[in-house]
Amino acid sequence: MELDTLDRAIVGALIEDARSTYAEIGQRIGLSAPAVKRRVDRLLSTGAITGFTARVEPSALGWTTEAYVELFCRGKTSPAEIGTAVARLPEVISACTITGEADALLHIRAKDVRHVEQVIERVAAEPFVVRTKSAIVLSRLIDDPPLAPHPA
Amino acid sequence: MELDTLDRAIVGALIEDARSTYAEIGQRIGLSAPAVKRRVDRLLSTGAITGFTARVEPSALGWTTEAYVELFCRGKTSPAEIGTAVARLPEVISACTITGEADALLHIRAKDVRHVEQVIERVAAEPFVVRTKSAIVLSRLIDDPPLAPHPA
DNA sequence: GCTGAAAGATCACGCAG
DNA sequence: CTGCGTGATCTTTCAGC
């Protein structure tokens, strides 16, 4: 799972455009098309690259509202327990346990504010949830630019 | 920017695998390869699809730590002002203004906790930032599954 | 939606470090 | 022995119609 300079260049090219041809990538980094393909196949099998996806304007699909919800859970709640519970809700697009007062932070996407409310209610209904604190997103400033290969 | 059933099916297929061929997508939804390509080209030109990208394991690229940072700004701070400021930091992968006490919420990715600290310091140094409140991510439970086409 | 020419993918093989 | 390049062949793309 160790990536050399060429691997990182390939990953960078595929992050920029997942539909580039192997020849294009090869030309850019000084490698032949088959060599690029072999490396991409390896990056896929080792799990460094987990897949290729289209970036879609959420509003085009009807997701116009998003919110962040902090979860305060009762004493002995495991991360796994939270994970399995929120995984059932398709509106929850991101979830993690965090340091600080709250135990977990959810990022949810919904059709409208009413829909957000319904999701929060369903989350709050989980037996381990003591209370929630939510914030509706007003305007998005930066929208997950695919992560750059080199952290400096 | 209106998507019909076929468009949504195409978008769904491309979200699942951005490197599928037009013939594969066409077979799945009952359309010929050229018809699929024409629709994809249209979806790209209208902006419904904004691009194609590789999904990468962040740890494979050295991003092992992430955090959320709430920003409390002084009275008259515009979203645009916050946006341009944080856009300069590559570690900020998501930013938005929100309801509630805080004015904005940042999602940052870094090499380690030390690196997180440096980024927070740089954000806090912005003249419009009064104070920040940050939470380090302990364990990720759900990691942005590419959004599904149909919100039900 | 179909067809045909051009471009890309993919494989086996040979070669270098 | 691992990794790259080459060339043959098959598939895909894409601009006609």
- Segment A78-110, tens digit of pLDDT: 999 999 999 999 999 999 999 999 999 999 999
Q: Where are the alpha helices (DSSP H) in A17-112?
A: 22-29, 33-46, 79-87
Same domain, B69 and B108: yes
Residue A40 lies in domain: 5-45
Same domain flag for B23 and B69: no
B17-59 residue pLDDT tens:
999 999 999 999 999 999 999 999 999 999 999 999 999 999 9
How many pairs of residues across A and B have Cβ atoms under 8 Å apart?
Answer: 218
Asked if the structure places residue B121 within a domain, the reply is: yes
User: B13 and B78 share a domain?
Assistant: no
Instruction: Count CA atoms closer than 13 A to A123's CA, side-chain side.
Output: 30
Q: Are residues A63 and A37 in the same domain?
A: no
Residue B79 confidence (pLDDT) above 90: yes
Would you call B51 an interface residue with chain A, using a CB distance cutoff of 8 Å? yes
Does B27 share its domain with B66? no
Residue A116 and residue A91 share a domain:
yes
Distance A34 CA to D8 C1' (A): 14
- The count of structural domains within chain A is 2
CA distance readout (Å), B133 to A3, B102, B122 = 34, 9, 14
**Token duo for residue B34:** 């050229």
Gap from B32 CA to chain A (nearest CA, Å): 20
| Residue given tokens 């490396």 in the structure block | A39
**Measured between alpha carbons, how far is B56 from A146 in angstroms, rounded to an integer?**
9
pTM above 0.85, yes or no: yes
In a domain, A151, yes or no: no
Residues B22 and B90 in one domain: no
Q: Among positive and negative, which fits the CA dihedral B9, A116, B55, A46?
A: negative
- Residues A30 and A83 placed together within one structural domain of the fold: no
Give nearest nucleotide to B31 (CA–C1').
C1
Same domain, A81 and A14: no
- Residue A90 forms part of a structural domain: yes
Beta-strand ranges (E) seen in chain B are: 49-56, 65-73, 92-98, 104-110, 129-143
